[in-house]
Amino acid sequence: MTIRLIAGLGNPGREYEHTRHNAGFWFVDELAWQWKAVWKEEKKYAGQVARVAHENGEVWLLKPDTFMNLSGKAVGALAQFYKIRPEEILVVHDELDIPCGRIRFKRGGGNGGHNGLKDIQAKLGTADFYRLRLGIGHPGDRNLVSAYVLNKPSAEDRQKIDEAVGKSLKGLPLVMAGDFEAATRFLHSHA
């Protein structure tokens, strides 16, 4: 079993580019750069798409052009067209419930109130896909969450998130090789 689709979640448009909610975009942009992949606007998948010839076969990178709460439209369309099963999908997203700069990797589970995940689960009909969760910390009050995720992190927090993205990219070969246990150990370590 290998990953055939890596979807980074975020909001399109310049005004959201550097906001916490776009951590998933930051990851796939960096990955596309490392893999020398070229983004193309694909209307039928409602997003920016890049196809990469990987040693395990073809891998699709995706940045939905819909807003966060409609992320499933893009993920579902691409997965359906290329017959990609949920367990072959990795969704990379920001996570409030994890301290800034920490990473969590898992398969399945709830959506923790994350609207992007909620929509993907609805469109795929299952929660059984992989998630790479990039910690952005929590503002401390539920009522502040929306403003918090849609604002830029402090320079210090941005550096922590960038370091988490860098570490995640180092752990990705383990994920791509299907060694999920080793990937989890590496990604969850604090070193």
**Average pLDDT along the chain:** 94
Percent of the chain with pLDDT over 90: 92
Q: Please give the average per-residue pLDDT across 109-134, as a whole number.
A: 94
Q: Is 151 annotated as a binding residue?
A: no
> Residue 191 — pLDDT band, cuts 50, 70, 90?
low
β pairing state of 89-95 and 5-8: parallel
Name the residues annotated as catalytic. 21
C-alpha distances in angstroms, 53 versus 4, 7, 35, 38, 80?
10, 16, 9, 12, 20
Q: Is pLDDT of 60 > 70?
A: yes
Q: Is 16 annotated as a binding residue?
A: yes
Q: Is pLDDT of 93 > 80?
A: yes
**pTM for the complete prediction?**
0.96
Q: Distance between CA 34 and CA 14 in Å, rounded?
A: 23
